A and B are shown apart, each in its own frame.
Chain A
């Protein structure tokens, strides 16, 4: 009944975070401090002035690092939420964080899908242009030029919630924070682990994700991996060689199939 079709494995989007391959990729990347922030700022200003959506320039492409989501991989363990909360705590320690006041909260939110055993980790996508930044009346929302991340300055935030209203992903929450921020409710969202990024580390959420539902890397590489995956599925369907080509290992598919069935089953 259960036949492992090893050849049907998904192509890997990125090397494992701690693999040699990943290490090489990091080393090969130009370091942030090799560029002056002034030049970088001028570069970004030019980009904005010309065309926000035009992201095909070689230098831009090189810097498009992001946390990419493979929704079919998410199994709802919520370890990203836990890691995010710890990362944004005062102590950055999993045990000590539990005793902090106000308690640290996650900025990534794993929401259940329509069927049991499906879920999606939603977070700020750091849009460019960012609707939240455009509507923020107090100038609290800015783009970090070095890391290309949308950040909120809690000191400037007036908690008007305009950002939350325009956010296409409902990624903004409102609460007080423990990590040295003003002790009042402000808009809070994913900061792309900007501190880790400056140290050349990957964000906390993708680091703890062991099923590659969250993968950190160059956006175009990740999209390309997805394109290859998509092409495999489409081609195998078209050629009818493997009409029921599974999207993941057969036992995981069987696990999900129960979730779909249990969600649908009821008396009319």
Chain B
């Protein structure tokens, strides 16, 4: 089904618009065409009142209240919506935590000296983590410490410890609240498995109980699997520091072999960066007429590389098909998560080779090169070689690179932010107390073709910084804001007077790039550090979260762990819960009394900004700080 919508209404970006126009011209199907073909989408599913968990079903509940009100088993709308939400969160948490496990396993092999292409680039962070974990470091070899840390973290995935190692980072008020509610996560894998058990027919038939376990499951991701991923990636690949980079489809160079690294996990992409510097491969590229090998990032694999090495970024989620439409991409190397099955179809219209690398994520139409950390560098070189070979098939007449890149600053780990502040959160706290900075908001999450691409991220962020609110971004949001020019120190000019002053004094942008989507844990760590510094709970701080364009199950898990950690979160896209007014009431209202935070839903970023500003001023007032009327 053709999609006749005005191209400008699909994306705010010049590069995206040019490539969507090309797709239409050449009859190449993209995500927007498929969304149009899916209209109208099923209202039962969109409201969360359909259930296919068992073979007495499938069932659905009439949201108008007159048709069937219960599934065959007797589950009403509340139970069905809660069960569905629970499974969504379990899937999202599983994705993050399995990513964390993959990193942990390579880290464990590295500690035993069995890998090729890996090293411990930040031994200081390793030692700091070991101290936190109660592992002795005094007079011990780095690899010995790493072995103990690896086995300590592996215990977190199991059930023997009964709590997570990183929970010591939280203010005691928060952990006590969790204990009262019975939502302290006990093991990373355990909560996901228990969620699948609970949502089997005839187990957890109380929607409140299921929703509480939703929070516990998400916390096993945020303070467990994702945090393991972030912290160990820092140990192995380096803790990010501010670095200049460039963004958008202009990152592709017509004169070079272009290889895009797409997905989420830095394990393979880091060795590919090493492999692409191999003189033999560069020579091979030159023999084929290219000037060199140009690596670009896509999505969160791109974020991982950009924040550590300044690797240029081709784009976020909705750019993955459009990057192929430039005709200038020779290879797309994918690991896992958010990689549309359609990329191999679009690639067929060009010479681009799609190379899958994770045995758990294969693609029909792609070349699979199985990743093995023991032969990391060798496999990295093999992949780059295929990209160089594909370059020979490129048709220069079909190359269209639509735009010049925009400069952006990346790499604000918590360590880097505290470093910029002089090693303590005090200057940030002082700026908040003085009202120069009203508060901080994490604007995170994906792209979703239901929202004009990047409009939600860019407009919400702009309205927040204009009102002196510091914005922390990860994932697709960082790429959107980078493209909008909001992530350079000069963008302080766009900020309100107070935030502008602070940014100019520190030489930082008003929008800080904190990494990939597993790196939302950096925002949690920063929030906990501020709360601990002030001796208050996280829920008392003038903070908020927003996911203006989310689409994935992982984003639901993130939203839930952010709220369960005490931070108000506004979603730009509606979650499938509106079929149950009780579930909506609990999430959008009652949770505030329980965990000190709740969800809001608002598609319009201008209105979302007002909701967030009101919330931040209310939190300021409660803390006895000067507050404004919004």
Chain A residues in the interface with B (C-beta under 8 A): 1-2, 4, 9-10, 12, 16, 73-78, 110-113, 116-119, 210-212, 248-252, 254-255, 258, 261-262, 264-267
Contact = CB atoms under 8 A, between A and B. Distances in A.
A255 B455 contact: no
B68 A210 contact: yes
Contact of B578 (A74, A77, A254, A261): A254
B451 A212 contact: no
Nearest to B44: A77
Contacts of A267: 12, 452, 455, 459
B537 to A, nearest CB: 25
Nearest to B576: A255
A252 B452 contact: no
B585 A252 contact: no
B65 A77 contact: no
Contacts of A261: 602-604
B40 A76 contact: yes
B40 A118 contact: yes
B581 interface: yes
A89 B333 CA distance: 44
A96 to B, nearest CB: 19
Interface string B22-53: 00000000000000000111111111000000
B450 A262 contact: yes
Contacts of B585: 1-2
Contacts of B212: none
Contacts of A249: 63-65, 581
B601 A258 contact: yes
Nearest to A111: B40
Contacts of B65: 9, 249
B532 interface: no
Given A265-B605, A267-B459, 16 more contacts: A1-B585, A10-B64, A76-B39, A77-B42, A117-B43, A119-B39, A210-B62, A250-B581, A251-B47, A255-B43, A255-B47, A255-B579, A261-B602, A262-B450, A262-B451, A265-B604
Given A1-B589, A265-B605, A110 B40 contact: yes
Contact of A265 (B39, B41, B66, B603): B603
Contacts of A73: 64
Contacts of B579: 251, 255
Contacts of A117: 40, 43, 46
Nearest to A119: B40
B451 A248 contact: no
Contacts of A9: 65-66
Contacts of B47: 75, 251-252, 255
A248 B578 CA distance: 13
Nearest to B12: A267
Interface string B1-36: 000000001001000000000000000000000000
B574 interface: yes
A255 B43 CA distance: 9
Contacts of B581: 2, 4, 249-251
B578 A76 contact: no
Interface in B445-481: 450-452, 455-456, 459
A77 to B, nearest CB: 4
A252 B574 contact: no
Given A12-B66, A265-B604, A267-B459, A252 B40 contact: no
A232 to B, nearest CB: 15
A249 B456 CA distance: 29
Nearest to A113: B40
Interface in B574-596: 574, 578-581, 584-585, 588-589
B139 interface: no
A183 to B, nearest CB: 26
A265 B66 CA distance: 33
Residue in A2, A75, A210, A264 whose Cβ sees the most chain B Cβ within 10 Å? A75
B338 to A, nearest CB: 21
A84 to B, nearest CB: 16
Interface in B553-586: 573-574, 578-581, 584-585
Interface of B: 9, 12, 39-47, 60, 62-68, 450-452, 455-456, 459, 573-574, 578-581, 584-585, 588-589, 601-605
Nearest to B38: A112
A154 B179 CA distance: 70
A233 B133 CA distance: 64
Please classify the interface of chain B as helix (H, G, I), strand (E, B), loop, or mixed, using the class held by over half of its residues. loop
Nearest to B49: A75
Contacts of A212: 62, 64, 66-67
A252 B65 CA distance: 10
Contacts of A251: 47, 63, 578-581, 584
13 contacts: A1-B585, A4-B581, A10-B64, A76-B39, A77-B60, A117-B40, A117-B46, A212-B62, A248-B64, A251-B47, A254-B584, A258-B578, A265-B456
A252 B63 contact: yes
A32 to B, nearest CB: 28
Contacts of B63: 75, 211, 249, 251-252, 255
Contacts of B68: 210
A211 B40 contact: no
Residue in B41, B45, B459 whose Cβ sees the most chain A Cβ within 10 Å? B41
Residue in B9, B41, B578 whose Cβ sees the most chain A Cβ within 10 Å? B578
A258 B40 contact: no
B475 to A, nearest CB: 20
A112 B62 contact: no
Nearest to A252: B63
Residue in A78, A264, A267 whose Cβ sees the most chain B Cβ within 10 Å? A267
Contacts of A75: 40, 42-44, 46-47, 63
A122 B43 CA distance: 17
Contacts of B40: 74-76, 78, 110-113, 117-119
Contact of A76 (B9, B41, B450, B589): B41
Nearest to A110: B40
A4 B78 CA distance: 14
A115 B459 CA distance: 22
A75 B48 CA distance: 12
Contacts of B41: 76
B199 to A, nearest CB: 21
Nearest to A210: B67
Nearest to A250: B581
Contacts of B64: 10, 73, 211-212, 248-249, 252
Nearest to A261: B603
Contacts of A118: 40
A70 B601 CA distance: 28
A254 B600 CA distance: 12
